[in-house]
Amino acid sequence: MARIDAHQHFWQFDPVRDAWITDDMAAIQRDFLPADLEPLLLQHGFDGCVVVQSDQTEAENEFQLANAAAHDFIQGVVGWVDLQAENVTERLAYYSQFVKLKGFRHVLQGEADRALMLKPNFRRGIGALAAHGFTYDVLIFPDQLGFAAELAAAFPNQPFVLDHLAKPRIKDQLIHDWARDIRALAAHENVSCKVSGMVTEADWQHWQPADFRPYLDAVLEAFGPRRVMFGSDWPVCNVAGGYGRMHALVADYVARLSPTEQAGFWGGNATDFYQLTH
């Protein structure tokens, strides 16, 4: 079974466009391209990856699809499209021709309207994804988990995956409300969860593996081993220890799973969710 890193990024750094990469994240204020990732994937035994959008333009799709066309190890692309646009169905029909384009994401965590995902225009866009077999990556903060559960309930046949555990406040050891809301979201069986992005929510310089165990326990209990998948969130993980430390943290934790469950976590679940065919 293929081993897949289900969440990483490429970019040609632009300080204006990429203003979210602040000066305290200087480690990633540069270009990160397929040639930078491939040796890391090989070193850690991965066969491929899924690249996820970091810029909310259709030019981002062109950039990532070109990367994917040039590199076989990039097995899937999660792009961006304006789900609220009047012509969203036409744009989705256009993108359906690209075999490696698997789904879409919107940076909901950054929206002033915390419940934007429940607005009629956004829901119309979500409702148009299934006709083309597109997935949807849910990028939110913990305060939006309730809205995400409502969205998942409204579209029971749409595959959703939660990015980065919804970014719980691990540094502050806040868990109770987040864990309750994670359980409510996971009750919808059309939702999976990426075990990704955690180290950037902890103390970047001083985190220990024990800091993450309560959060990993909650996710695994809520979603079960068939609806969780590994994602490095490279290169963002470089601000808090890098690929190797992130991978080792997760590998140590999931060693408790059965061999079949581990195979699912490290690639089988992502392969099924994104319908990877490489």
Lowest mean pLDDT among 19-23, 182-186, 255-259: 19-23
Q: What is the mean pLDDT of residues 184-204?
A: 97
Per-residue burial over 248-276, b if 16 or more Cβ lie within 10 Å, else e, is ebbeebbeebeeebbebbbbbbbbebbeb
Query: Taking the model in full, what pTM does it have?
Result: 0.98
Using the 8-state DSSP alphabet, how is residue 9 labeled?
-
Average pLDDT, the chain: 97
Q: What confidence score (pLDDT) does residue 1 get?
A: 82
The rounded distance, in Å, linking the Cα atoms of 232 and 71 is 19
Which three-class secondary structure state does DSSP give residue 46? coil
- Reported as a single tens digit per residue, the pLDDT across 43-76 is 999 999 999 999 999 999 999 999 999 999 999 9
Please state which CATH number belongs to domain 4-274: 3.20.20.140
Q: What confidence score (pLDDT) does residue 277 get?
A: 82
Examine the pLDDT at 254 and tell me if it is beyond 70.
yes
The rounded distance, in Å, linking the Cα atoms of 136 and 79 is 10
For residue 100, give every residue at least 6 positions away whose Cβ sits within 8 Å of its Cβ, in sequence order, or none. Answer: 65, 68, 69, 74, 75, 76, 77
The rounded distance, in Å, linking the Cα atoms of 214 and 87 is 43
Q: What confidence score (pLDDT) does residue 273 get?
A: 98
Q: What confidence score (pLDDT) does residue 278 get?
A: 59
The rounded distance, in Å, linking the Cα atoms of 11 and 210 is 32
Q: What is the mean pLDDT of residues 156-178?
A: 97
Q: Which of 210, 251, 193, 228 is closest to 43 using CA atoms?
A: 251
The rounded distance, in Å, linking the Cα atoms of 56 and 80 is 6
- Reported as a single tens digit per residue, the pLDDT across 3-45 is 999 999 999 999 999 999 999 999 999 999 999 999 999 999 9
